[in-house]
Structure 1
Amino acid sequence: MKYNFLVNIIRKVAYGILKCIFLIRVEGRENIPNAPYIICANHRSYLDPVLIILIFDERVYFMAKSELFKIWWLSPIIRAFGAFPVKRGKSDIGAIRKAIEVVRSNNILGIFPEGKRNRTNEIVLRGEKGVATVIKATGAKVLPVAICGKVRLFGKITVRIGKPLEFTNTDEDNQKIVDTIMQNIKELILKTNNKKKEK
């Protein structure tokens, strides 16, 4: 689903502003499949969902922590861009059902499997199993996305889009599915680090 005219204008203006603040590079656009599919990305800053919304031309429906929807001025903005609430720290059946509905309606779902921002020195955190439930229920492809670089003035940020993953075995362990996704994201991040060493 495409964004409406007004939201699309806001996206383009916002992306132009961000490109003046950060050196943004996007790699792997050719790997983007036709909807429906699920974007799974690593999560290190508040800028991560914004980058994905601005980079992908079609609307991405994101799970966002429920606390954000209690902020009166922010709630209508993030809803306009396709966000829906999820309660962190426990199994939110309603959010899972909404995610399944999004994919079954031929849309794009965005998830950060880590469940929170990674503030550690680890490359990625262990992913949570909720995304595997959505994958099994919909049979959707998973698009691994790595967001690399530090969010600082004129800092270099690389968004690397990997090749789509398919999980056809519905008997496969949910944690194993998520671990495979996170491993793919980790390899995309390490690819950036290896390029830096070669220079």
Structure 2
Amino acid sequence: MQYNFFANVVRRLAYFVLKCIFSIRVEGKENIPEAPYIICANHRSYLDPVLIILIFDEPVYFMAKSELFKIWWLSPIIRAFGAFPVKRGKSDIGAIKKAIEIIRNNGILGIFPEGKRNRTNEIVLKGEKGVATVIKATGAKVLPVAICGKIRPFSKITVRIGRIIEFTDKDDDNQEMVDVIMQNVKNLIMNTNK
């Protein structure tokens, strides 16, 4: 699956603008597998999904908080790039079904397991268990991604793409699975697990 002409023009223009504002470096692109897989990344800024969409050549379908789809000008843009709503703070069966459908259709799913932006001094927050449900239902591989650096003008942002994680035992505890994913992301942020 590829972006259409219009989406590619928007992506290239947006990437050019961001490169003028930030110093962006990408590490580990050789670790990107063939679809389907799930990208699991840390989340500190509204720009995080934008960076991933611009860096990955194939479409990434992100779970996004349902409140964003109520913003009249933003909703059509994020929908055009494949985002779909998830209700935070409770089990959203519809969002889980949509995520499973994306993987089964050979797509790339983007999830921020922390469930919200990390505004603390912690390197990463504890991950939510929803991604484990999708992994168990589909057998999807997980690609850990770390977005490092402060999002402010002329700062340096490094996006580190880690090695694929595979879970083969459906009896694994959901929280333990998510903890493994978040530890991999944390290691990438600390630059100890390229």
Asked if residue 105 in structure 1 is aligned to residue 105 in structure 2, the reply is yes
Asked if residue 72 in structure 1 is aligned to residue 69 in structure 2, the reply is no
Q: Which has the higher helix share?
A: 1
Deviation at 1:100, TM superposition (A): 0.3
Unaligned runs of 5+ in 1: 193-199
Deviation at 1:70, TM superposition (A): 0.8
SS at match of 2:39: strand
Equivalent residue number for residue 58 of structure 2: 58
SS at match of 1:25: strand
SS at match of 2:34: coil
- Mapping of 1:108-187 within 5 angstroms? 108-187=108-187
Equivalent residue number for residue 93 of structure 2: 93
SS at match of 2:58: coil
Structure 1 segments of 4+ aligned residues over 2 angstroms from their partners: none
Deviation at 1:72, TM superposition (A): 1.2
SS at match of 2:191: helix
Equivalent residue number for residue 196 of structure 1: none
Deviation at 1:35, TM superposition (A): 0.2
SS at match of 1:10: helix
Equivalent residue number for residue 28 of structure 2: 28
Q: Deviations over 1:78-115 (max 9, x none)?
A: 00001000000111000000000000000000000000
Query: Counterparts of 1:118 and 1:71 in 2: how far apart (Å)?
Result: 22
Deviation at 1:77, TM superposition (A): 0.4
**What one-letter code is carried by the residue in structure 1 that aligns with 2:107?**
N
Q: Deviations over 1:28-71 (max 9, x none)?
A: 00000000000000000001000000000000000000011111
Query: Counterparts of 2:18 and 2:176 in 1: how far apart (Å)?
Result: 36
Query: Counterparts of 2:91 and 2:66 in 1: how far apart (Å)?
Result: 13
Identity across matched positions, percent: 82
**What one-letter code is carried by the residue in structure 2 that aligns with 1:30?**
E
Unaligned runs of 5+ in 2: none
SS at match of 1:191: coil
Equivalent residue number for residue 83 of structure 1: 83
What TM-score, normalized by structure 2, do the two folds share?
A: 0.98
Deviation at 1:73, TM superposition (A): 1.2
Query: Counterparts of 2:191 and 2:78 in 1: how far apart (Å)?
Result: 32
Query: Counterparts of 1:42 and 1:118 in 2: how far apart (Å)?
Result: 8
